[in-house]
Structure 1
Amino acid sequence: MHLHRATATFAAELARIREEQGFTQTPLATRLNVHRSLISHIECEKKVPSKAIADALDQVFGLTATRHFGKLYEAIVYERGSFGWLEKWREIEIEAVWLQCWDPLLIPGFLQTYEYARAVIGYNPFFTPEEVEEHTRRRIGRRAMFDRESPPNVTCLIDECALHRPIGSPHILVDQLRFLLEWTERPRLTIQIVPMQAGNAAGTSAAFQLAKLPTGQEFASVDSLLGAECSTNPEMVAKVKIWYEAIRADALSRRDTIELLRAALTQWTNKLT
């Protein structure tokens, strides 16, 4: 199964257009001022092309008006940025002693049901149905961290808006809310809802996660349209912590969170009857 479809498309298009315009790999490499092996590695998907190479290919092939390779490169950035970071973060989750997360739009990934996760990932226009299923399984697999002998302590903040966004369908949302309620009873997991009436705008621009390893090393991961930036930079980690505490100050208690979840579940269940 091909997990980097955009890279494969770039490789195939490079080989196709190169041959159509009468270039072998060596003359093209000369025009680009790179070694022939780079062209070979890109076409064999052994190396991811850079933005500079994509722009240079558009120039050499006379495609600057349409930015053919420039757009293909952006697809690679989106695909790898959105989901490539997940592998790195999973490694962190496996070892973490504590985790903190916030999401202003969706139920956080590791708390998503299979159908909810598949609906979210399915909106990615670059994935085939097979790739959607593969990424969905990987996302659900993140819950394995709770099966460790010493699971991490996890605190999860969720905006109330996420409880009323019927991702996929109202039926999927009802199942998701029911699942979330069940997980409020999970040891070492604290789920807190930030109510809409709080008017907290501190974290509406992005979802983010914080983690700490047994070594004391701390990580911060901040989401964006093109993926997530994962860093150990102390300044970035400190800033994300400040944002997290500002949001948590308006979060409901565990008891009030459960009551709000039950109310949302009842509301959406009634809509289905």
Structure 2
Amino acid sequence: MADVPGPVSDFIVGEIRRARGAGGMTQEAFGRGAGFSASHVSAVESGTRALTMDFIRGADRAFGNGGIFERLAVKLGTPSWFLPWLDAERGATQLRYFEPNLIPGLLQVEHYARVVLRSVDSLTDDEVEQRVKGRMSRQAILTGERPPQFVAVLDEAALRRTGDGIGGIMAQQVAHLIAMAELPHIHVHVIPLASGLHVGLSGPFALARSGGGVWVGHLENQLGGDVVDKDDEVATLQARWESVRNEALPRRQSIDLLKEVESHHGPQ
């Protein structure tokens, strides 16, 4: 299940530990109520095991507090609508991302992510920084011991976006894409502008394949997002994926295009 971003995790673990102590609960007794072994509880409290949303929900059950820790995690870290997708993303063996307008979150550099999140004017500066940290922490799945196969399809327009103060950021971002695309388990494909209109311009989507071979999808929109797990809807997204993938350049040609775009944006 999805890990909670580090700064949020440290705070919530400390609060859970204090609540357990105040309630006179041993790790074993707390674990029985939360649905985890005493050794698992000990590992989370000592920081040697990641805090997950499942553990947080278990803590709420053990304390019978009406879900206060889950609400705290959502408030401080990640929108509630995104949590189910984080679970799927974290456990995936294969990931497919299509983005017509932005760089996928798992491939964003910190400065680019901050600019994107600041475009949401309802977020405070603190909320932007928390989400930037959360986005950066998600990227650990791509560099772990057993990373998923990751394939991203981008529209060239997303790479050539310009504006006040964004040139250097885009140069840094494209350089990062090139470095990531050189890794054996990461494939970045670009749909050239010359392709014109294509089905992917209707919006971004993602697909995740679990270790058991089950695919789920994710759709994001202006109001939030939805996890797609019905067979017919997943099949539709798979068909859309094949369409946009076929519009894109092969891997090496895509990297060459990324290098050309990097030179266009100028020095970092």
Task: Compute the RMSD of aligned alpha carbons.
Answer: 2.6
Alpha-carbon separation, structure 1, partners of 2:167 and 2:81: 30
Matched, 1:98 2:94: yes
Alpha-carbon separation, structure 2, partners of 1:148 and 1:224: 29
Q: Which has the larger radius of gyration?
A: 1
Q: Is the 8 A contact 1:191 1:254 kept in 2?
A: yes
Note the C-alpha offset of 1:198.
1.1
Q: 2:152 aligns with which of 148, 156, 171?
A: 156
* Cα offsets for 1:139-189 (capped at 9, x unmatched): 111111123332111110000001111376111111111111111111211
Matched, 1:191 2:194: no
Note the C-alpha offset of 1:84.
2.9
Matched, 1:240 2:237: yes
Partner of 1:143: 139
Note the C-alpha offset of 1:126.
1.5
Partner of 1:264: 261
Partner of 1:132: 128
Residue ranges of structure 1 left out of the alignment (5+ in a row): 3-43, 47-78
Alpha-carbon separation, structure 1, partners of 2:209 and 2:189: 20
Note the C-alpha offset of 1:45.
10
Q: Which amino acid aligns with 2:101?
A: L
Matched position secondary structure for 2:201: coil
Note the C-alpha offset of 1:90.
2.0
Partner of 2:210: 213
Q: Which amino acid aligns with 1:180?
A: L
Kindly tell me: are residues 45 and 218 of structure 1, through their superposed partners in 2, closer, same or farther at Cα, counting changes over 3 Å?
closer
Counting only pairs closer than 5 Å after superposition, residues 13-92 of structure 1 correspond to structure 2 as 83-92=79-88
Q: Give the structure-2-normalised TM-score.
A: 0.68
Note the C-alpha offset of 1:216.
2.0
Alpha-carbon separation, structure 2, partners of 1:134 and 1:116: 15
Alpha-carbon separation, structure 2, partners of 1:84 and 1:199: 36
Matched position secondary structure for 2:123: coil
Residue ranges of structure 2 left out of the alignment (5+ in a row): 1-6, 9-65, 69-74
Alpha-carbon separation, structure 1, partners of 2:169 and 2:142: 24
Matched, 1:114 2:119: no
Q: Which amino acid aligns with 1:102?
A: F
May I ask how many residue pairs the two structures share in their alignment?
Answer: 199
Alpha-carbon separation, structure 2, partners of 1:177 and 1:165: 11
Note the C-alpha offset of 1:107.
0.6
Alpha-carbon separation, structure 2, partners of 1:164 and 1:145: 27
Q: Give the structure-1-normalised TM-score.
A: 0.67
Which deviates more from structure 2 when the two are superposed, residues 179-188 or residues 83-92? 83-92
* Cα offsets for 1:170-211 (capped at 9, x unmatched): 111111111111111112110000111012420112100001
Calculate percent identity across the aligned residue pairs: 30
